[in-house]
Amino acid sequence: MLAPSRKPRASTQSAGAPPATPEELRAYVPYLVNRLSNRISADQNRFLVAMGLNNAALRTLSVLHIYGKLTVNEISVLAVVEQSSASRTIDQMLETGLVTREHAARDQRRREVTLTKDGAALLKKVWPQIARRTDNLMQGISAEEIDVCASVLSRMIDNVRKHEL
């Protein structure tokens, strides 16, 4: 038997009590973010496997496309993967010719990873399909709502950095 329906609270976390109903759970932002993230990652990973990639590799290609040269640690942070996973991903990408790794010109202790032409071509080939999947995710949501959502999520990420939630 389902619990009696209650009006969802804006934030059950700040009220100091866990969600008590399915409605409250669906209004609990950390639950929603986690559920959406896991679903997007699982669906995207299934799609990427057919192209010989995974989410970590796609995010690595993406951040290298944006930033140019990065260390493994920088890739780990920007691609949102554990450092050990970033290292393994980069090793695999080195073997398949998607990236290079060289000592930095100014600091021989620093090893920088760079996108190759093949890596850039693969990202360019995959991206239209990623964009279509993103469009499907945003279907029925106005551009203004998406902008507000992105702004709020960015501020939440900043809050996590400041407060180590």
Per-residue confidence band for 1, with pLDDT thresholds at 50, 70 and 90: very low
For the domain with range 23-137, which CATH number is right: 2.70.150.10, 1.10.10.10, 3.20.20.370, 3.40.50.150?
1.10.10.10
Bigger pLDDT: 68 vs 11: 68
Please write the tens of the pLDDT for every residue from 141-160.
999 999 999 999 999 989 98
| Confidence (pLDDT) at 2 | 43
Per-residue confidence band for 90, with pLDDT thresholds at 50, 70 and 90: very high
Per-residue confidence band for 14, with pLDDT thresholds at 50, 70 and 90: low
- Quick one: average pLDDT of 23-29? 93
The packing angle between helices 29-49 and 117-138, to 10°, is 130
Q: Is the pLDDT of residue 164 over 80?
A: no
- Quick one: average pLDDT of 77-92? 94
Domain residue spans of the chain: 23-137
- Tokens 């990408």: give the residue: 93
pTM: 0.80
